[in-house]
Amino acid sequence: MAASALTSEDDYRSVLTREFDSMTPENAMKWSVLEPNRGQYNWSGADAIVDYAQQNGKTVRGHTLVWHKQHPDWLNNLSATELRSVLKKHITTVVSRYQGKIRAWDVVNEVFTEDGTRRNSIFQQKLGDGWIADAFRWAHQADPSAKLYINDYNTEWRNAKSNALYNLVKSLRQQGVPIEGVGFRTHLSIQYEFPGCFHQNLQRFADLDVDVAITEIDARMATPPTEAKLETQARYFRQAWDACHAVSRCVEFTTWGFTDRHSWVPDTFPGEGAACLYDDSLNPKPAYYWLNSTV
Ligand code: XIL
């Protein structure tokens, strides 16, 4: 969800408050927003979301501590030793600030490429394979009560990427690293098939004794939307919902934004949009009505 809309749009805030029980900051907790210049913090958006959640009985999914995107430029020129120490400081500072107020953290985001190799981020380049385990340990020290997740996309079905993710989670669990959840972003497009065997894939991760969660679902389409496309979209949301409900360790079903007014889709996928449960004017779509009928 968008921190700016929370503070400036009454209709947005009222739908959020009425319909949802958890909030995920879309950008407000990303490193480039929190610490654009080294040592200079900007907590306004993140604090606004956490405060609102506390006052209104919502939980918060913290997103995201480490990502190869939206981190500040000043990280780029650090030595390995300095990068390690600022990474530890970043994780410790952010997680402790909201200690006890964040239900789950996306500790690391998108660490694999499509072929299942580790993404060549500055963290991977400079710190080597062990940085992910360290990130989880530091986060756990700062808030032992938060559920710590690894989060990624295109991992909904069995493929090279989800196999690599599976092997990493298995190995981290075997080493006693405090990883407790795997987030499946689930950015769907109705122009592609719904991910095959999603439920079985969720189950194999759950069998590693971790929670699994749908963390960012939306279902985009070529614009403009038509009645038929919106029906297909509703079916995709429903199939994802059913996949999650078929797995007892699937603990969360979170959408990436709820209104097309603020969706990331048109900027990222030109010509596509209408991916959320509500349209620009906050009218609910068929997908909303279907999900609402199940709860
Ligand atoms: C996106 C935001 O929605 C955009 O506003 C921003 O410009 C770029 O980042 N998956 C993620 C998110 O984990 O962090 C991305 O968020 C969307 C895809």
Is 70 a domain residue? Answer: yes
User: Which pTM does this prediction carry?
Assistant: 0.97
Q: For residue 235, what are the domain limits?
A: 62-294
Q: What is the CATH number of the domain that holds 279?
A: 3.20.20.80
Residue with the nearest Cα to atom 16 of ligand 1?
A: 26
Q: What per-residue string of b and e applies to 268-291 under the rule 16 or more CB within 10 Å gives b?
A: ebeebbbbbbbbeebebbbbbebb
| pLDDT tens-place string over residues 175-192 | 999 999 999 999 999 999
Q: Which atom of ligand 1 is nearest to the CA of 256?
A: 3
Residue with the nearest Cα to atom 14 of ligand 1?
A: 26
Is 5 a domain residue? Answer: no
Question: Which residue among 24, 109, 256, 259 has the greatest number of ligand 1 atoms within 8 angstroms of its CB, and so is best to mutate?
Answer: 256
> Residue 294: its pLDDT value, please?
81
Is 42 a domain residue? Answer: no
- 8 A C-beta contact, residue 279 and residue 242: no
Is 145 a domain residue? Answer: yes
N-to-C CA span, the chain:
21
CA separation for the pair 251, 143 (Å, rounded): 20
The stretch 84-109 carries a mean pLDDT of: 98
Query: Given 26, 35, 156, 216, which residue is catalytic?
Result: 216
Q: Which atom of ligand 1 is nearest to the CA of 106?
A: 13
Is 265 a domain residue? Answer: yes
CA separation for the pair 183, 178 (Å, rounded): 15
| pLDDT tens-place string over residues 57-95 | 999 999 999 999 999 999 999 999 999 999 999 999 999
Residue with the nearest Cα to atom 4 of ligand 1?
A: 264
State phi, psi for 217 to the nearest 5 degrees. Answer: -65, 140
Pocket of ligand 1 (CB under 6 A): 26-27, 109, 185, 216, 264
Query: Given 26, 35, 110, 180, which residue is catalytic?
Result: 110
35 is catalytic: no
**Is ipTM > 0.95 here?**
yes
236 CA → ligand 1 middle, Å: 21
Residue with the nearest Cα to atom 3 of ligand 1?
A: 264
Q: Which atom of ligand 1 is nearest to the CA of 264?
A: 3
Is 51 a domain residue? Answer: no
Three-state DSSP class for residue 100: coil
174 CA → ligand 1 middle, Å: 31
175 CA → ligand 1 middle, Å: 31
CA separation for the pair 206, 182 (Å, rounded): 9
Q: Please tell me which residue, 62 or 295, carries the higher pLDDT value.
A: 62
CA separation for the pair 26, 60 (Å, rounded): 11
156 is catalytic: no
> Residue 295: its pLDDT value, please?
74
Is 216 a domain residue? Answer: yes
> Residue 11: its pLDDT value, please?
98
| pLDDT tens-place string over residues 225-280 | 999 999 999 999 999 999 999 999 999 999 999 999 999 999 999 999 999 999 99
Total of domains in the chain: 1
Question: Which residue among 4, 24, 27, 66 has the greatest number of ligand 1 atoms within 8 angstroms of its CB, and so is best to mutate?
Answer: 27
Is 48 a domain residue? Answer: no
Question: Which residue among 4, 264, 272 has the greatest number of ligand 1 atoms within 8 angstroms of its CB, and so is best to mutate?
Answer: 264
